[in-house]
Structure 1
Amino acid sequence: MAPPDNRPAKKQQFDLINRGVKRPTPLGTATFIGMRLADIPWQYHLLHNGAAERAVSAVGLSTLAVATTTASTTGIALLDQLDLPLPRLLLLAMAAGSTAKQIFWLTYLSAEEFPASAAVPVAVFNTAFNSLNAVLIAGAATSSLAGGGPRLSLLLGDSLAVSDLPLSVLAGALMYAAGITIETLSEYQRMRFKQAAQNQGKVCKVGLWRWARHINYFGYALWRGGYAMVGCGWLGGLLVGLGMGWDLSTRATGILDEYCRKRYGEQWAQFKMEVPCRIVPGLY
């Protein structure tokens, strides 16, 4: 008889998705779509109606001067009607873009179970994250628009209106665009790979997945950091990006590594040798 195994059981990592359980969840899907769509007008309310300034004042902090919140003129009637300064317009666009991306993921890219018990906390987290950035951009001490540093002058629209922007806002917008593209494209490539009959039961090694085993997580951390950088500057963007990367590299990849090891066996071990980088291509 083999001696008893006295090793402590491996701690189960927290995960909202039931890996490998593939079935429709109409209630969870409807709940998530409704909550994510409701976030867009809420973010506009915060960014346009002075709610962000009131939140900053409520905790005893100073808000930005009026000159920094003057609406920009882009020359695009639909955008100009929103009556938002360019940095705030970018935050609203990011909120809408992440909503569209996540709904696309749930309804088209993912086949795994996503019940209401998962939909609600994920949607709440997104709204809380977006709202925090909408509030931080209004604070004199927290906004990406406050303080010194490199700034850019952009010519916008037919009227050639000038918008003076900190470099961090442009960098954050580019990070967001790159990150959400990487995340969406990689997940689309994986879906198409899995749909092919000859690839059933195989590890996806095509496209962006040749660069890192969890390349979609790299895109996710990148766009989250970019979003925060537009809201609260270099430091905020760096902290959020690194924080998201740390969580993904310690918790999320651990869950997926264990799941893929059990599902793919030697294939997964071979994939890890062929693609040594976990999240960041060429670095980690």
Structure 2
Amino acid sequence: MAPALHDNVSRVKRINRLGITTFVGLRSADVVLQYGLLHWGWGAKLIESFGGHPLPRNQVVSTLTEQLLPYHSIVLLMAVGSSLKQIITMLAVSEQDTPPSSALVIALFNTVFNFINTVFSLWEYTSKAPAHTDPIIPGWSQSSLTVALYMAGILTELVSELQRTYFKKQLANSGKPYANGLFSLARHINYGGYTIWRAMYALYCGGWPWGLTVFSFFFYDFATRGVPVLDIYLTERYGEQWKDIKLRVPYRLIPGVY
């Protein structure tokens, strides 16, 4: 008999202020950590402590302005975007009970991925930073598609969840499942958006091997655990209404792909 699939999300609807505060505090602290790794040299020292070779500081921080150069500024902005998106979700979207222990695990899980991304962006062996100190990156358009897909993924996740939240707050929609807006393109398009922006963030920092690894990890987890678990929950809650949505919206995570 196959083991029961684990649901990482509590389905109990309750405001847990201590859990919310813990989550928001930790996701905010993550931005400081990533800045320290980049600007204050924490990442370079860590790489050196393991016998690696970090990028020279003048390829990370401008010698004239002491500001992060464009490539690493974008790395930091990706970290900021991840934290900001998740804080907005926690404050404006989430209805589930989030005890401090769960808030801690979820926040640290995301920080670990951001931490690895930042370190890879500083390590000579994996960094995609240009090997020069010009304040403008020649040929930076090579990375523009990665950045654009990151933005598309994170906005898809955020906007879809806000659309669903707005729908649920209308009294006329009480007891109805939501499959309009972006959710009309894929039943769990927020998960698909998360998978895409996580993969693009990793690709931008560490190259194709790391980007593909991250994409495969999240796509596999959602396809084999997250989506099936949620499908069981929604079927039990909405019955025939959810079955009709599955017929109308065939894609699960990414429109046209899966």
Tell me the TM-score normalized by structure 1.
Answer: 0.84
Q: Distance in 1 between matches of 2:160 and 2:176?
A: 16
Share of identical aligned residues, percent? 38
Counterpart Cα distance in 2 of 1:235 and 1:134: 15
Amino acid at match of 1:218: G
Counterpart Cα distance in 1 of 2:136 and 2:113: 30
Q: Which structure 1 segments of 5+ residues have no match?
A: 1-7, 74-79, 148-153, 155-160
1:104-159 deviation per Cα after TM superposition (whole angstroms, max 9, x unaligned): 11111111111112100111111111111111111111112379xxxxxx9xxxxx
Does 2:2 match 1:18?
Answer: no
Q: 2: distance between equivalents of 1:235 and 1:87?
A: 19
Aligned mate of 2:226, from 252, 267, 271: 252
Contact 2:38 2:60 in 1 (8 A): no
Structure with greater Cα Rg: 1
Separation in 1, partners of 2:79, 2:142: 18
8 A Cα contact 2:121 2:205, kept in partner: yes
Alignment of 1:25-174 (within 5 A): 25-66=16-57, 68-71=59-62, 83-145=67-129, 161-164=135-138, 169-174=143-148
Q: What displacement does 1:167 show?
A: 5.1
Q: Could you tell me how far 1:267 is from its partner in structure 2?
A: 1.1
Q: What is the CA RMSD across the aligned residues, in angstroms?
A: 2.1
Farther-moved stretch of structure 1 (206-215 vs 91-100): 91-100
Q: Distance in 2 between matches of 1:209 and 1:145?
A: 36
Q: Give the deviation of 1:17 after TM superposition.
A: 1.7
Structure 2 unaligned residues grouped into runs of 5+: none
Look up the equivalent residue of 2:80 and give its one-letter code. Answer: A
> Contact 1:144–1:169 (CA<8 Å) still a contact in 2?
no
- The equivalences for 1:188-267 within 5 A come to 188-267=162-241
SS of the aligned residue for 2:80 comes to helix
Write 1 or 2 for the structure with the bigger share of strand.
1
Q: What CA distance in whole angstroms lies between the structure 2 residues aligned with 1:266 and 1:139? A: 53
Alignment size in residue pairs: 256
1:158 maps to what in 2?
A: none
> Aligned in 2, Cα 1:122/1:203: closer, same or farther, shift over 3 Å?
same
Moved more, 215-224 or 191-200: 191-200
- Once residues 100 and 201 of structure 2 are traced to their aligned partners in structure 1, the CA distance between those partners, rounded to angstroms, is 26
Summarize the alignment of residues 264-275 of structure 1 with structure 2, pairs less than 5 Å apart: 264-275=238-249
Distance 2:101 2:119 in 1: 28
SS of corresponding position for 1:179 = helix
Q: Is the 8 A contact 1:226 1:237 kept in 2?
A: yes
